[in-house]
Chain A
Amino acid sequence: MKLLRMSPADGDVLLAEGDPELAEDEQRLIEEFRRQLDLGMWAAVPAEGAAGRREATLVRDFSEVPRGAESVIFFPQAAGGRA
């Protein structure tokens, strides 16, 4: 599993990578996941739905990330723009 973050300077950056089935990797992934949410990021898990339609789910805790997910994408939370 890869944890990726959108970034103004770089496009996206790889924050962490590991196998959540391995305890050591899972702990590292959880810590990075929490750190990003503490920074105010939203976390999304991409998926492929029925008929190959691309989908994404917002998650608030690492335990909500489906087993087998290949990546979690972090991005700044939405804010209302010019009114």
Chain B
Amino acid sequence: MKPTLKTFNKPTHIGELPNGTYFEAGHLVSKNAGWRTKRPVIDKNKCKGCLECYLYCPDGVIGKADGKVAIDYDFCKGCGICVKSCKFNAIKMEGER
């Protein structure tokens, strides 16, 4: 299951920090996609929902939303591997504005 973004409550006392480098897994508190220059966009008509792109995505940002394959742009770095992996040419890179 893909972890979702959580609200980060800034600690105010040292005792709120973990005593060592361990914490609950999947505790995502900040978006991480700032350096993307191009974004992959899925053509919903061409997509067969085979999820080949999900298998290849190195950052685990592809999943399903409302029953359709969807990309989480909060974490997608824009590498374009999903475009190459799609056998149906359903994904195209578009420039970030």
Mutual binders A and B: no
Residues of A within 8 A of B (CB): none
